[in-house]
Amino acid sequence: MSRVGPTISVIVCTFNRAHLLEQLLDSLSKQTAPSEAFEVVVVDNNSTDRTREVADRYRGRIANLDYVFEGKQGLSHARNAGFRAATGHFVAYVDDECIAPPEWISNALRIIATKKPAVMGGPYGCHYEVPRPAWCRDEYFSTLTLRGAAPRPLDEDEYLDGGNLFVQRAVLEELGGFDPRFGMSGKRLGFAEEVEFQDRFRSRFPGTPLLYEPDLAISHMVRKEKLTLGNLVRTRFAIGMTEANRQMREHTDLPAGGMGAGVVALIRNSWDLVRNVWQSIAHRDRRRHPYALNALIEGGFEPIQRLGYVWRACQLRIQFRKRGRA
């Protein structure tokens, strides 16, 4: 008789974060769902720390736990290795920085049984590795209030969070998983692998909704390095670059205007950044923005994202021209 697999395979992709992985696995070991209803697959993406040791330690505390080593660096490679090792009907992706509440999987099982979704996901709150700075607001690192309090299908311009995402394994197999050109890779910032995947899902399965389910909320750690000015700037720039990659991934739909237009756009956006930073600090509403960083985060840094987009677009144009001459 063939073994009946679990309903949900929880995929934890991790790279050199053994201490964070331990917190997540501890929360998964305390789930109220029946142990036979889910499995946990830890995907080690070239870690050099105690990741394997931590995973092995939780084998006795989580009834169904598997460890997979993925040597190709990059979050998308790790995500793909995870679903290929999974045996569940649904694959649940959760960031290794997260803590799942005890009812997380039970709520997912209930939603799967009643709504039979193809893709669903929930929001994330936040907790902090170090005491929260006075300027920091939870909303900067949380999506709890972003899409409202009620479950609903998302609009076409909305996307589910990749760190709290449930997908039918058959859908992942049909679409070939995640595109390795997107997402984090080691210490290199990268984003939008889940956005690109959801774009392909909508194209392949038109009319099939992406379900937003607030009952699937989890908590995401805000690491201390995320609270620095440098990281805030790099993140915005990387988001802009990733958006250019996503919109121009075939390198055939680059904006018209040549490299001259790209240089002009870089200069213009650099000037916009200087002007925005100055205006945000010098003319901020101190009741609404008691700290200068509040004003910068909530508006002054917006040109950084555009700079990242234009910079990457210029790089892609150069690559496209070289390919054309080859």
pLDDT at 44 over 70: yes
Instruction: Please report, rounded to a whole number, the percentage of residues in the chain having pLDDT higher than 90.
Output: 61
CATH of the domain at 154: 3.90.550.10
pLDDT digits (tens, 9 = 90+) for 80-125: 999 999 999 999 999 999 999 999 999 999 999 999 999 999 999 9
User: What mean pLDDT is predicted for residues 198-218?
Assistant: 97
Higher model confidence: residue 74 or residue 279?
74
Asked whether residue 213 is domain-assigned, the answer is yes
My answer on whether 206 and 94 are in the same domain is yes
The full DSSP string for 182-250 is SS-BTTB----HHHHHHHHHHHHSTTPPEEE-GGG-EEEEE-GGGGSHHHHHHHHHHHHHHHHHHHTTT
Which structural domain range is residue 99 located in? 8-227
Higher model confidence: residue 163 or residue 232?
163
pLDDT digits (tens, 9 = 90+) for 6-24: 999 999 999 999 999 999 9
My answer on whether 289 and 301 are in the same domain is yes
Asked whether residue 1 is domain-assigned, the answer is no
My answer on whether 51 and 99 are in the same domain is yes
Q: Could you say which of 227, 257, 289 is where a domain stops?
A: 227
pLDDT at 188 over 60: no
Q: What is the pLDDT of residue 324?
A: 54
- The whole-angstrom separation of Cα 106 and Cα 253 is 44
Q: Is the pTM of this model over 0.85?
A: no
Asked whether residue 38 is domain-assigned, the answer is yes
Asked whether residue 56 is domain-assigned, the answer is yes
Q: Could you say which of 202, 227, 252 is where a domain stops?
A: 227
User: What mean pLDDT is predicted for residues 312-320?
Assistant: 69
My answer on whether 138 and 286 are in the same domain is no
Asked whether residue 2 is domain-assigned, the answer is no
Q: What is the pLDDT of residue 178?
A: 94
- The whole-angstrom separation of Cα 184 and Cα 191 is 6
Q: Could you say which of 227, 260, 290 is where a domain stops?
A: 227
My answer on whether 174 and 236 are in the same domain is no
My answer on whether 146 and 261 are in the same domain is no
Q: State how many domains the chain has.
A: 2
My answer on whether 255 and 279 are in the same domain is yes
My answer on whether 204 and 306 are in the same domain is no
Asked whether residue 315 is domain-assigned, the answer is yes
My answer on whether 234 and 316 are in the same domain is yes
Asked whether residue 29 is domain-assigned, the answer is yes
Q: SS3 for 142-165, per residue?
A: CCCCCCCCCCEECCCCCCCCCCEE
My answer on whether 60 and 154 are in the same domain is yes
Higher model confidence: residue 202 or residue 309?
202
Quote the mean pLDDT of the chain: 86
pLDDT band at 261 (very low <50, low <70, confident <90, very high): low
My answer on whether 265 and 242 are in the same domain is yes
My answer on whether 157 and 294 are in the same domain is no
Asked whether residue 82 is domain-assigned, the answer is yes
pLDDT band at 28 (very low <50, low <70, confident <90, very high): very high
Q: What is the pLDDT of residue 189?
A: 44
Cβ contacts of 198-205, under 8 Å, gap ≥ 24: 198/119, 198/159, 198/160, 199/246, 200/175, 201/118, 201/119, 201/171, 201/175, 202/156, 204/174, 204/175, 205/118, 205/171
